[in-house]
Structure 1
């Protein structure tokens, strides 16, 4: 799997959703000389982790080998990027190799900053503390949910951009609905702490989610985030950013979403957006091209774009990157434009989902005609559980959707 050359026509950093989708689309356009740099031998369909944490799927269903999703004709270097020099057009890898490129696509995703919350890194995965943001811990979430008979359950959402921004809420609703069906809901206090000023940035969906939370008796705390936890005492501290106050809560179950940021080598590079405290890559929000380096494109979680970081966003970003990359190869200006479309499949019960679709202007952007997508729907749950995974494996990753 090692490369035979240090010079690459198109070098894609990251073999996740964004990287594979771009590579597949480039190959379908007849582009050759494509290399993917990624250290992992496993490819994950991460949206299923929420359902795994809710006892509605298994983590194994989200796993494929990385080799199986690499498009034919694309070279795979199993190594990790550690530095980029956009002026010299080089990438340095963990093995010490220096790779040269003509065109660079940045799609390394983001990193989970567990250590940013004191007490979280050493607690997650045991004693009632879990997170669906890792395939290692998602099954633990379900164990803790189904074994809780009474007490206090806390679900948290950190400040700053995160992938799948609805996930911290979705698991709260899945858990609450399970406890309701088991007759335990009245014995369990549920606290949902969201760092955001509203339940959802689009008002239409925010109103619906407020109704969902009220239905389960969830105590919603806005502009509030997890400050620290004491695993020995099973206590956590929430910081209220409105009042500046702090609250200590004894917990029996905690689903914590870790703070997130760009990979360290990205945030310390000259490609990071000065406007992003989390180090995400600076790109034109429509062309997805770096403003100072026209041969560098970025998409997916690592791009500093004012929209949610989801696979649905990648599905719309990838064709734009491919179109503009090919235009750049021919010496032309970008011709493709991304309008900020993203989609958040918000699971609100064990058999219902609210499909939130919107663009940069927070205008609704429904993709399914003739049905009301402003409300929870049972058929949308089936889309989440069965339709979207099929679209992912057989459509997106093959450059067909």
Structure 2
């Protein structure tokens, strides 16, 4: 058994950023990160891989290379949490004890939740930008498709990067438009939810592109089965009257966003709420029942959009509040629900959607954020990847300083 001042479970974007923010404020902290993976991914880049803009290897670095100096990397996976004993048990039988705990376990794709999907992925025209190894296949399929039917799916919430399912569609349509093939392709977007985007201000400009690409929207339409060899997808479609019918469609290209769920170790632990996610105060990100535990990122039950931008804003809040609690004071700062989704509506233009709790617009730039812009594309294609690797993971809190004090 090992003991550390602060233990962070998860070495993804949220976990690494929080460790860096903590060390920025207090050098010499004894921090350990529990993370099994040898690789660290810039997942927002996979949309651009699928659109032929990035090469997949540019989105991957070794976990060791992004681990902040002075942090102990415990290579292993958390299997269970014992908050009453301040312990985390690992899958290999080891246990780690902490004074303060940060849970940054993320959200898990449930590829197995759709019969036939796992077996079809990477062939039979079935792809997903939600996997590093499949995003290049998305681009290959889009490049090669000259006619036929292309289906893009979005499952019920919660999912990470809620804009990604439609971004895959827009960038594929942009390629087909440029190649002169768009008119020969039946583009369909099947969304299990009731709206194109969760923040209403962005729906009108997105609808302009839906019309431009002649894409057919299907709301209340959930993918429930994939027949890869025969290239058929089955959907459960719920009508306005609440009745559900099954519809099977043939496809030439099927881009699937998998259903997503809380990580098992968290969902089965005392840290979880009824949905399986870490139960935290939506503002302070402190656990509602265990004061020495904080949550951050996609694995929390906060009602914000699950994006890397949200984790970037949350990391300094968690760092400030954890140190305050560790020193015997209350949590002092509040997270406003900020999330961001640069919606790549065509090659060369993006709508930079920035918003907080309740759909409140929280623009970082002095322009109308609902308009597609070349600068938005430059932000997505060039600035944000650089910001991720060189600022967010290094404790440089540009555009993310924890200014808002908690007043409740």
TM-score of the superposed pair, with normalisation by structure 2: 0.95
Shift, 1:315, TM fit: 1.2
Equivalence for 2:336: 339
CA contact (8 A) 2:124 2:229 kept: no
Shift, 1:232, TM fit: 2.3
Counterparts of 1:361 and 1:263 in 2: how far apart (Å)? 26
**Which one of 282, 286, 295 corresponds to residue 285 of structure 1?**
282
CA deviation profile, 1:259-303 (whole Å, cap 9, x unmatched): 0111111111111111x2xx1111110010111101110010100
Shift, 1:231, TM fit: 1.4
3-state SS of paired residue (1:20): helix
CA contact (8 A) 2:114 2:223 kept: yes
Equivalence for 2:268: 268
Matched, 1:153 2:150: yes
Counterparts of 1:53 and 1:361 in 2: how far apart (Å)? 31
Counterparts of 1:321 and 1:227 in 2: how far apart (Å)? 38
Equivalence for 2:8: 12
Counterparts of 1:30 and 1:365 in 2: how far apart (Å)? 30
CA deviation profile, 1:131-185 (whole Å, cap 9, x unmatched): 0001011111111111111110000000121111100000100001110110111
Counterparts of 1:164 and 1:364 in 2: how far apart (Å)? 17
Counterparts of 1:365 and 1:152 in 2: how far apart (Å)? 37
Q: Structure 2 regions of 5+ residues with no counterpart?
A: 398-408
Counterparts of 1:374 and 1:53 in 2: how far apart (Å)? 24
Counterparts of 1:160 and 1:351 in 2: how far apart (Å)? 29
3-state SS of paired residue (1:312): helix
3-state SS of paired residue (1:190): strand
**Which one of 373, 392, 395 corresponds to residue 396 of structure 1?**
392
Shift, 1:225, TM fit: 1.4
Q: Stretches of 4+ moved more than 4 A in 1?
A: none
Counterparts of 1:124 and 1:151 in 2: how far apart (Å)? 19
Counterparts of 1:78 and 1:140 in 2: how far apart (Å)? 31
Shift, 1:245, TM fit: 1.8
Q: For 1:187-336, what aligned pairs fall within 5 Å after superposition? A: 187-242=184-239, 243-274=243-274, 276=275, 279-336=276-333
**Which one of 88, 93, 98 corresponds to residue 91 of structure 1?**
88
Q: Structure 1 regions of 5+ residues with no counterpart?
A: none
Shift, 1:398, TM fit: 0.5
Alpha-carbon RMSD across the aligned residues, in angstroms, is 1.0
Matched, 1:368 2:360: no
Shift, 1:372, TM fit: 2.1
Equivalence for 1:379: 375
Counterparts of 2:301 and 2:236 in 1: how far apart (Å)? 26
Matched, 1:120 2:127: no
Q: For 1:40-55, what aligned pairs fall within 5 Å after superposition? A: 40-55=37-52
Counterparts of 1:213 and 1:96 in 2: how far apart (Å)? 52
Shift, 1:88, TM fit: 1.1
Shift, 1:241, TM fit: 2.4
Equivalence for 1:76: 73
How many residues were matched structurally?
393
Equivalence for 1:177: 174
Bigger shift: 318-327 or 227-236?
227-236
Equivalence for 2:26: 30
Counterparts of 1:72 and 1:329 in 2: how far apart (Å)? 22
3-state SS of paired residue (1:122): helix
Equivalence for 2:404: none
Counterparts of 1:265 and 1:72 in 2: how far apart (Å)? 28
Counterparts of 1:9 and 1:56 in 2: how far apart (Å)? 42
Shift, 1:36, TM fit: 0.5
Counterparts of 2:199 and 2:231 in 1: how far apart (Å)? 35
3-state SS of paired residue (1:28): helix
3-state SS of paired residue (2:265): helix
TM-score of the superposed pair, with normalisation by structure 1: 0.96
Shift, 1:8, TM fit: 1.1
3-state SS of paired residue (2:359): coil
